[in-house]
């Protein structure tokens, strides 16, 4: 570990669409005395938040600047196209990018997908946010390609979505400043990787120091001494029992035999 624990609170940032709930529950069970503070952040601001030290770690979307940040990829999301419920694309179970060639495809400024070539017809203006783009889709102005979790996050009754098989996908990762790999960061890494409490990389108990160490050593010495005394007592009792039995046998052997009566 290259950092030290400086705060009694662990600050975890997360971007829209990412749900840290299951990891937060595990943290609370394992470290009930250390609060975990959730920090909601827009996808484009997550790296800056980490660099500025306003969060200890973040669940964000790849790619990540690896010059200052470490990252562990966690999972990859399916990309879907969001359309009105009566749209032609809603009639298929799975779409391809070529199916969108004749439609306006919205690309918001906070788009989390990386495109070599933008699909579909370009819009006159790029929406500022994914939420704004969803409103435009509902108004029938275009369609929107997003990770599936964002489609669920912005769910509306008048919209639906379909997976797009050949669209780029969005990877989600746990990231933190490389120079600040603290004990608490290591704890959270273990949680997201599924390590158990007793795993080799789990927390190790702090050895006692000072008077506490001396007290522990004295207790062990007393326990060892008591065990030796008990063993000695058992051997003495066993020897005494055997001696009594031998003496009784000798007395019986030394008694004269009684004469038999003649009938």
CATH number for the domain spanning 23: value is 3.40.190.10
Is residue 154 domain-shared with residue 180, that is, in the same domain?
A: no
Q: Is residue 244 part of a domain?
A: no
> In this predicted model, which residue has the larger pLDDT, 37 or 251?
37
**Pick from 30, 3, 71, 8: which is nearest to 202 by CA?**
30
Q: Is residue 212 part of a domain?
A: no
Is residue 66 domain-shared with residue 174, that is, in the same domain?
A: yes
Supply the pLDDT for residue 8.
85
pLDDT (tens digit, 9 = 90+) per residue, 72-104? 999 999 999 999 999 999 999 999 999 999 999
Supply the pLDDT for residue 197.
75
Count of domains for the chain:
2
Supply the pLDDT for residue 252.
59
pLDDT (tens digit, 9 = 90+) per residue, 115-142? 999 999 999 999 999 999 999 999 999 9
Q: Is residue 155 part of a domain?
A: yes
Supply the pLDDT for residue 192.
96
Is residue 158 domain-shared with residue 107, that is, in the same domain?
A: yes
Q: Is residue 236 part of a domain?
A: no
Q: Is residue 245 part of a domain?
A: no
Is residue 67 domain-shared with residue 178, that is, in the same domain?
A: yes
* Residues with Cβ within 8 Å of residue 27, at least 6 apart in sequence: 10, 34, 36, 187, 188, 191
- Structural domain boundaries enclosing 132: 79-163
Q: Is residue 199 part of a domain?
A: no
Is residue 138 domain-shared with residue 20, that is, in the same domain?
A: no
Q: Is residue 252 part of a domain?
A: no
- Can you give the pTM of this predicted structure? 0.72
Confidence of residue 196 (pLDDT cuts 50, 70, 90): confident
Is residue 71 domain-shared with residue 92, that is, in the same domain?
A: no
> In this predicted model, which residue has the larger pLDDT, 55 or 232?
55
Report the helix count and the strand count for the chain, using DSSP H and E: 6, 9
Is residue 65 domain-shared with residue 176, that is, in the same domain?
A: yes
Supply the pLDDT for residue 30.
96
- Give the whole-angstrom CA distance, residue 168 versus residue 14: 21
pLDDT (tens digit, 9 = 90+) per residue, 143-179? 999 999 999 999 999 999 999 999 999 999 999 999 9
Q: Is residue 95 part of a domain?
A: yes
Supply the pLDDT for residue 124.
93
pLDDT (tens digit, 9 = 90+) per residue, 201-256? 555 434 444 444 454 455 556 566 666 666 666 665 555 555 555 555 555 555 55
Is residue 27 domain-shared with residue 70, that is, in the same domain?
A: yes
**Cα 175 from chain centroid (whole Å):** 13
């Amino acid at each position: 570990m290259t950092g030290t624990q400086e705060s009694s609170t662990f600050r975890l940032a997360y971007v829209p669409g990412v749900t840290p709930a299951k990891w937060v529950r595990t943290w609370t069970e394992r470290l009930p005395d250390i609060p975990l503070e959730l920090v909601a952040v827009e996808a484009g601001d997550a790296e800056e938040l980490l660099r500025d030290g306003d969060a200890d770690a973040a669940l964000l979307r790849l790619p990540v600047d690896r010059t200052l940040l470490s990252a562990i990829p966690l999972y990859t999301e399916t990309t879907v196209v969001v359309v009105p419920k009566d749209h032609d694309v809603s009639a298929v179970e799975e779409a391809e990018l070529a199916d969108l060639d004749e439609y306006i495809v919205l690309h918001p400024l906070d788009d989390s997908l990386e495109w070599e070539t933008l699909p579909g017809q370009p819009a006159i203006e790029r929406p500022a946010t994914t939420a704004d783009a969803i409103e435009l889709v509902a108004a029938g102005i275009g369609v929107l390609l997003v990770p599936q979790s964002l489609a669920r996050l912005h769910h509306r009754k008048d919209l639906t979505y379909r997976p797009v098989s050949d669209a780029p996908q969005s990877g989600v990762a746990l990231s933190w400043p490389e120079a600040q790999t603290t004990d608490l960061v290591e704890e959270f890494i273990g949680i997201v990787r599924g390590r158990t409490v007793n795993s080799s990389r789990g927390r190790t108990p702090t050895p006692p120091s000072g008077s506490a160490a001396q007290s522990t050593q004295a207790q062990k010495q007393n326990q060892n001494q008591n065990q030796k005394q008990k063993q000695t007592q058992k051997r003495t009792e066993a020897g005494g029992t055997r001696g009594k039995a031998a003496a009784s046998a000798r007395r019986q052997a030394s008694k004269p035999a009684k004469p038999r009566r003649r009938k």
